[in-house]
Amino acid sequence: MKALRIHAAHDLRLQDLPEPEFAPDEALIRLGAGGICGSDLHYYAHGGVGDFRLREAMTLGHEVAGDVVAVGAEVTHVRVGDRVAVNPSRPCLHCEQCLSGHSNLCPNMRFFGSAARFPHVQGAFAELFTARQDQCVVVSSTMSYAVAACAEPLAVTLHAVSQAGPLLGGRVLIVGAGPIGVLLATSARLAGATQITVTDLQSAPLRVAEQMGATETVNVREQAPAGLFDVAFEASGSPAGLASALGALRPGGRLVQVGMLPSGPTSAPLNPLISREITVVGSFRFHREFGWAAELLGSGRVDVTPILSASFPLSRAQEAFELAADRERAVKVSLLPDEVFA
């Protein structure tokens, strides 16, 4: 089978690998579509993301959906032929964090396409891949694979919103209009926020944010957002974004850090934390929210088609990554098996 592997920064190769073997509690899945995530782009551009650096070749990809083609003897939750959105999180299910409902913080987590561990955890940008049955959420056979693959980034934003506390009637600022930022607008709207301002340095992604639930968008190259906010979500992963989010909060406000900041120390004006009693919380991946995300997509309550910019075959992955990195032209770029384009 073919798999898309990153060897170092800018060294992306579509390679032949043996078909994967699957355990008794696993399903073998044929890729339907996979979305290129910001972390995939960081591995491609920099050879790492945050504190996680490549130390060996790794198959990329964690926003995926596909069809079950075989199951292990112990699998009861899915059947051959099911279309599934695949949760890339593979927690141990036995540690204190897992048993207390915080499996996203599992110290033994094996997350698809991540260099956080060594040997690295291989991803799912491959014609065939395996997943434990608890990672598979069955979706309608009429749901497009690209939409189903968006369950993962939507789940990230649903978890971030849960970290923010009650948003009903709230004034929300979202810093950064990448895929996570624009989906945060959707999730904040679902949670009842009435004012949702999204900021960015570029205008094109802000137009998508308007389609995804923002009530106001601001290009911060031209102006600053007006007023103070109850909650700010920092989704740009930049120190400048963090500083602007802190400065825009009302006394007693709350900052949710969603974007992965650069490796090492980050400089930020922290005195407002004291003088205005700002609360800062982190948001890392998701837990139960993955199932909720798949349900929201399946019911039509969340429409992600505005963010789906383009689709490419795996054999044109280099071109797909270059487009995905161009924020003026794309929000979410999907990779599909070559035979879809035949």
75 Cβ neighbours under 8 A, 6+ residues apart: 24, 25, 26, 27, 133
- Residue 212's nearest CA partner among 237, 236, 241, 179 is 179
Residue 266 pLDDT: 85
Domains of the chain: 2-150+304-341 (3.90.180.10), 156-282 (3.40.50.720)
Residue 229 pLDDT: 98
CA atoms within 13 A on the CB side of 182: 26
pTM for this prediction:
0.95
Per run of 10 residues, the mean pLDDT along the chain (length 342 residues) is 96 96 97 96 92 94 98 97 97 95 94 94 97 97 97 98 97 97 98 98 96 97 94 95 95 96 84 93 95 97 97 97 95 95 82
